[in-house]
Amino acid sequence: MSDQQAAPRFDRRASAAYDRRARRMLGGLYRRVTSEVTAAASVGATVLDIGTGPGELLNRLAARRPDLALTGLDLSPEMLAIARRSAASPSIGFEVADVAALPRPDDSADVIVSTLSAHEWPQPERAAAELARVLRPGGRLLIYDFRFVRLGPLTDALAQRFAGVRRDALHPLSLVMRLSAP
């Protein structure tokens, strides 16, 4: 592994524990994000979920919008093993990848989404550059993370590359916020 690459924090045990917790606690978030992604995605759109973890968001998207081309990318092979095992559709793709070096061509995604992962990205500048490279002009970026984490450097780096970057609370009392562009 080069010093440019992040190291996966989720080994087999941590991934299984996270999967159990997420199923119990994150249904409301996944429901909300599913609605927002499906609203942003036109018919047949290519959607990337960065830091997909156990892949529950992709399962919900596939159930609601079978027309979408869905791929989950994650640094942790152990998380992706769980995601593959529980995938609701054989058409969902999974790939081990770092947000700082996305294995995707320029302008190839219509929507890029990420939930509860951005606070783990050690190189916000590189992440923002990769998101801007891969998202097609006019595409939608939707990043959700905890309100109390430090996302200033990522927000600034995104604002240099995307017009209309916004940071919103999902609800006044919610622990989760959304960073979006445009």
Ligand X SMILES: C[S@@+](CC[C@H](N)C(=O)[O-])C[C@H]1O[C@@H](n2cnc3c(N)ncnc32)[C@H](O)[C@@H]1O
Q: Is 116 in the site for ligand X (CB under 6 A)?
A: yes
Q: Is 139 in the site for ligand X (CB under 6 A)?
A: no
Where does the chain show beta strands of DSSP type E?
46-50, 69-74, 93-96, 109-115, 135-146, 166-169, 176-181
H or E element in which residue 40 lies: helix 27-40
| Binding window for ligand X (CB under 6 A); candidates: 60-68, 111-119, 129-137, 164-172 | 111-119
Residue 44 or 63 with smaller CB distance to ligand X = 63
- Nearest alpha carbon to residue 50 among 110, 116, 105: 116
Strand order in the sheet with 46-50: 93-96, 69-74, 46-50, 109-115, 135-146, 176-181, 166-169
Q: Is 22 in the site for ligand X (CB under 6 A)?
A: yes
| Binding window for ligand X (CB under 6 A); candidates: 2-10, 40-48, 87-95, 167-175 | 2-10
Q: Is 82 in the site for ligand X (CB under 6 A)?
A: no
**Number of residues located near ligand X, criterion CB under 6 A:** 21
**Contact residues for ligand X, defined by CB under 6 A:** 6, 8, 10, 22, 26, 50-53, 74-76, 79, 98-100, 115-117, 120-121
